[in-house]
Structure 1
Amino acid sequence: MNLAAIDIGGTTIKIATWKDNKLQNKHAVDTPKTLEEFYTVLTDEVNKIKSENKIDGVAISSPGAVNKETGIIGGSSAIPYIHNFKIVDELEKRFELPVTIENDANSAALGELADGSGKSCNSMAFFVIGTGVGGALIINQKIWHGAHLYGGEFGYMMINDGQLSALASPVAMAKRYNARTGKHANGKDVFEAADNNDPIAAQERDTMLHALATAIFNIQHSFDPEKIVLGGGISNNPKLLTLLNEEIEKIRKSMPNLVTIKPDLAICKLKSDANLRGAVADFEQNHK
């Protein structure tokens, strides 16, 4: 199956051709400012791919709460014009091809399931750790969207009277640190400062790690996935897995009378290709 693959982002739109079971001719364009420009750019890109290849459809990863039944992207995002109308129908008219759209976090999870750290798993939890905390749940190799499209919205989880996104995001961690020190550090800076014995940085990093470890522990013991995969910019930190596993062990040891499961953690492998690869996997699941 050959496809046009598209990953819609707030700043850029990534485009690739899926051919011979791999992503080819990957490139990016600036995200248009209006819906009409959006239609023009995507139609031109798909037509170019069609002129060079016989393709079977268009696979899209998008922000927002994608309703697979209605073809509508609900919720909100940095691209307001893509929401709350039957966008799948509109794109199919223009492309003259079948179109599938899946949420970007769900797409990244499907990508990791297909060719990344979750390959061969039947169940998986995927965390996206960035400005906030999001994610996806996979059951029997398919996305669990939930009754209200809230499957995988880990950031809403309450941890120690706070939301996970406000506690475990590196952006939020840096804001807390800056508020206490008057500095202008980012998440990476705070991690490095903690390694260099900055006590405030160490406290804020510990707050982040404990919240994330607690969420992972809770997901493992409620959903019990085979693997939990971590994505987002912080996943590039080589110390993350070690620090998280240490924090999870502290939680497990605090329950001496209970048998607990040690989560199998992994860092995402596909990085910037995850959404494109997952969009393809979603299309293949929906158009076998």
Structure 2
Amino acid sequence: MELAVFDIGGTTIKVATWTNNQLKNKHAVKTPENLNCFYKILTEEVNKIKKKHKISGVAISSPSAVDKKTGIIGGSSALPYIHNFKIVNELEKLFALPVSIENDANSAALGELAAGNGKGCNSMAFFVIGTGIGGALIINQRIWHGAHLYGGEFGYMMVDNKQLSTIASPVAMAKRYNNRTGKSIDGKTVFELADQGDKIAKEERETLLHALAIAIFNVQHSFDPEKIILGGGISNNPKLVPLLNEEIKKICKSLGNLATIKPNLAVCGLKSDANLRGAVADFEQEYN
């Protein structure tokens, strides 16, 4: 099967061709400001791919909540023009091809399941740790969308009477540090300063780690997945998993014999290709 593949982001749209079971000709185009330009760019990219490949369809990773039954992207995002109408139907008319669209976090999870650090798992949880906390749940190798399309929205979890997204993201950590110090640095730098002995950086990193560890502990003991994958820029830090494992160990120790399961943590293996690869996996599930 050959496909045109898109990963729609607020700044750029990644484009690739799925051929010979690989993502080829990967590149990016600037995300347009309106729907007509959006249609034009995607149609041009699909037509370019059609000239070289006999593609069977178009696979798309998209922001926000995608209703697979209606073909509507609900919610809101940096691209208001893609929401709240039957966009799948419109794209299928434009391309004269079948189209699948899945949420970006769900796509990343499917990518990891197909060819990343979740390969071979039957069940999996995927945390996207970025500006906020998003994620995905996989049961029987399929995305669990939930009754209201909120499956895997871990950022809404309450930890210490606060939403997880407001305390466990690197952006929130940096904001707390900057408010306390008068500086203006990012989360990556806070992590590095904590390693160098900066007291405030260590405290704010501990807040992030503790909140994430509680969330991971809760997901493990409620959903009990085979593996929990961590994505987002912070997942590139090799110290993240060891630090989280130590924090989870503390939580388990505080509960005595009540907590016996140790989460199997891993970072996203496909990195920036996870969404594209997952869009392919979603198309294959939908049309095979």
TM-score, normalised relative to structure 1: 0.99
- 1:257 deviates by 3.0
* Number of residue pairs the alignment of both structures matches: 288
Partners in 2 of 1:40 and 1:156 — Cα distance? Answer: 36
Partners in 1 of 2:154 and 2:128 — Cα distance? Answer: 9
Partners in 2 of 1:274 and 1:260 — Cα distance? Answer: 31
Question: Hey, what does 2:176 align to over in structure 1?
Answer: 176
2:9 alignment partner AA: G
Partners in 1 of 2:185 and 2:138 — Cα distance? Answer: 35
- 1:258 deviates by 1.3
Question: Hey, what does 2:115 align to over in structure 1?
Answer: 115
Q: Deviations for 1:62-87, whole angstroms, at most 9, x for unmatched residues?
A: 00110000000000001110000000
Runs of 4+ in 1 over 6 A off after TM superposition: none
Question: Hey, what does 1:8 align to over in structure 2?
Answer: 8
- 1:259 deviates by 3.9
Partners in 2 of 1:188 and 1:282 — Cα distance? Answer: 32
- 1:196 deviates by 1.3
- 1:137 deviates by 0.2
> Which secondary structure does the structure 2 equivalent of 1:257 belong to?
helix
Gaps of 5+ in 1: none
Give yes or no for the alignment of 1:68 onto 2:68: yes
Question: Hey, what does 1:278 align to over in structure 2?
Answer: 278
Question: Hey, what does 2:144 align to over in structure 1?
Answer: 144
2:223 alignment partner AA: F
Aligned-residue Cα RMSD (Å) equals 0.6
> Which secondary structure does the structure 1 equivalent of 2:32 belong to?
coil
Question: Hey, what does 1:225 align to over in structure 2?
Answer: 225
Partners in 2 of 1:15 and 1:198 — Cα distance? Answer: 42
Q: Deviations for 1:163-199, whole angstroms, at most 9, x for unmatched residues?
A: 1001110000000011011011110111111111111
Question: Hey, what does 1:29 align to over in structure 2?
Answer: 29
1:38 alignment partner AA: F
Partners in 1 of 2:34 and 2:256 — Cα distance? Answer: 57
1:140 alignment partner AA: N
2:213 alignment partner AA: A
Give yes or no for the alignment of 1:242 onto 2:242: yes
- 1:52 deviates by 0.8
> Which secondary structure does the structure 2 equivalent of 1:228 belong to?
strand
Gaps of 5+ in 2: none
Partners in 2 of 1:258 and 1:53 — Cα distance? Answer: 56
> Which secondary structure does the structure 2 equivalent of 1:24 belong to?
strand
Partners in 1 of 2:230 and 2:81 — Cα distance? Answer: 30
Question: Hey, what does 2:130 align to over in structure 1?
Answer: 130
Identity of aligned residues (%): 76
> Which secondary structure does the structure 1 equivalent of 2:257 belong to?
coil
